[in-house]
Amino acid sequence: MVDILHRVGIKAPLDAVYQALATRDGVAGWWTNDTQGDSRVGGALRFTFHAGGAEIGGFEMTVIALQPGALVRWEVVNGPAEWIGTRIGFELKQEGEYVIVLFRHEGWKEPIEFMHHCSTKWAIFLMSLKALVETGTGQPNPNDVKIDNWN
Amino acid sequence: MVDILHRVGIKAPLDAVYQALATRDGVAGWWTNDTQGDSRVGGALRFTFHAGGAEIGGFEMTVIALQPGALVRWEVVNGPAEWIGTRIGFELKQEGEYVIVLFRHEGWKEPIEFMHHCSTKWAIFLMSLKALVETGTGQPNPNDVKIDNWN
């Protein structure tokens, strides 16, 4: 089992960062505009990605944990085969004027090339989260920063 | 042992990407302006980082492999304790109009919080490498994009 790890610090109130992770409208502001479903614990969230007006893929997740101001966790139930069964967690804590986000996408079976891509792309999206909360404007798909020939 | 993995695609000639990784002036254009030493196999490279005019840390690496157009590998011999003995590799290949860089920073003993930070920061620096080769201008330290309260 191998994990993708990241850390960003956001200069904003803890609750603002939490809301950007724990609500549908929040996630739509930094990951993908096309975020649908129920963001409560046990609910199913559907994240769909687009390029040039066409759908290029997506993920369905179950919300498995919500701790206000502290933690958001999802489990992948549908999407690319390599993602199914993996878990995505955002752990929050305050350090001075920063809210620290510790990110982990855990449970990958093998360190395949697609995992390398997803690792870089998660960093880009976490910087989009930081921009959203600090400035009001993120770069969710379809306006996300492209990193390679896969997106 | 745990690894940091990334993948970026760069629209440029393969040799231009290789030169940005295999030469001192190349690395100075995307990682840190203050890159010193000998970039030949067996040589020692010193990467020093600055903030507000003061030195904030650095790494010394031995170049352990150079394969033109294909691979650059370093081993960390001095720097933060968690980095010593780890290895950093850049594997290159052509896919259509993109040069794909598969990055691996391997041999971390534990998935500590500092590793989360370094993972995100490597993504930022690989995007700086991409910008350098595609546009002529990277964002090496001290002009690097800051991600959190650690830099």
Whole-number percent of chain A with pLDDT over 90: 97
What residues of chain B lie within 8 A of the CB of A100, using their CB?
Answer: 148-149
The pairs formed by A52-57 with CB atoms below 8 angstroms and a separation of 24 or more are: A56/A151
| pLDDT value at residue B1 | 66
pLDDT in tens, A49-64: 999 989 999 999 999 9
Contact yes or no for B102 and A123 at CB 8 A? no
pLDDT in tens, A9-33: 999 999 999 999 999 999 999 999 9
Contact yes or no for A127 and B147 at CB 8 A? yes
| Residue B128 backbone phi and psi in degrees, to 5 | -70, -40
What is the ipTM metric for this complex? Answer: 0.97
| pLDDT value at residue B54 | 94
| pLDDT value at residue B60 | 98
Model-wide pTM > 0.95 = yes
Name residues whose C-beta falls within 8 Å of residue A121's C-beta, 6 or more positions apart in sequence: A147, A151
Spans of chain B, pLDDT less than 50: none
Instruction: Name the 3-class secondary structure at B15.
Output: helix
Please name the member of B8, B117, B127 whose beta carbon is closest to the beta carbon of A7: B117
Question: Among B128, B123, B126, B125, which residue's Cα sits nearest to residue B138?
Answer: B128
Instruction: Give A149→chain B minimum CA distance, Å.
Output: 6
What average pLDDT does this structure show over A77-97?
A: 97
Asked whether the predicted pLDDT for residue A75 surpasses 90, the reply is yes
Instruction: Give A130→chain B minimum CA distance, Å.
Output: 9
